Amino acid sequence: MAAGGIIQGVLSIASLYSEKVLEHFRNPKNLGEIPDADIKETVGNPVCGDMMTVYVKIEGNRIKDVKFQTFGCVSAIATSDVLADMVKGKTIEEALKITSRDVAEELGGLPKVKLHCSSLAAEALHKGLKKYLEKHSSQKDGG
């Protein structure tokens, strides 16, 4: 492929996404892991095979910190990063109300064909938070 074709391809991929998506993809601030995390949850996207692991530190009933490791596309990385920003400082119940649609809206929208990518981060977070709640309520019940 000629250099012009490659440049054109890169430009057309970039134009699919909002500036906010590209910013979170290029400079994800929440990338990494939390060694003493209260929650570590990994999910895979059955549509494409991409995977993400979310780490959450809980203090009281609030989310103190969130980190992620995402092996996926531009949308998957950007949604993981922005969701981490959105839930820090929130209670577990508040975080459970945030949907993948909210995350996509926060990013200024995603291309229709990439909407499935936004579910990865929310799914991992929700799954991890629910397990945490179950574990802690059964401990309170003496179970």
Contact between 48 and ligand FES per CB under 6 A: yes
Smallest distance from ligand FES to CB 46, Å: 10
Measure Cα distances from 126 to 68, 116, 131 in Å: 14, 16, 9
The reply to whether 72 sits near ligand FES by the rule CB under 6 A is yes
Q: Are 117 and 50 in contact (CB under 8 A)?
A: yes
One residue of 30, 53, 75, 80 binding ligand FES per CB under 6 A:
75
Active site residues: 48, 117
Length of the chain: 143
Question: Using the rule CB under 6 A, is 69 a contact of ligand FES?
Answer: no
| Token couple for 91 | 């209670």
CA 141/CA 21 separation, integer angstroms: 43
Closest separation in Å from C-beta 74 to ligand FES: 8
- Residue 66 binds ligand FES, judged by CB under 6 A: no
124 is a site residue for ligand FES (CB under 6 A): no
d(CA 22, CA 56): 24
Interface with ligand FES (CB under 6 A):
45, 48, 50, 72-73, 75-76, 114, 117, 120
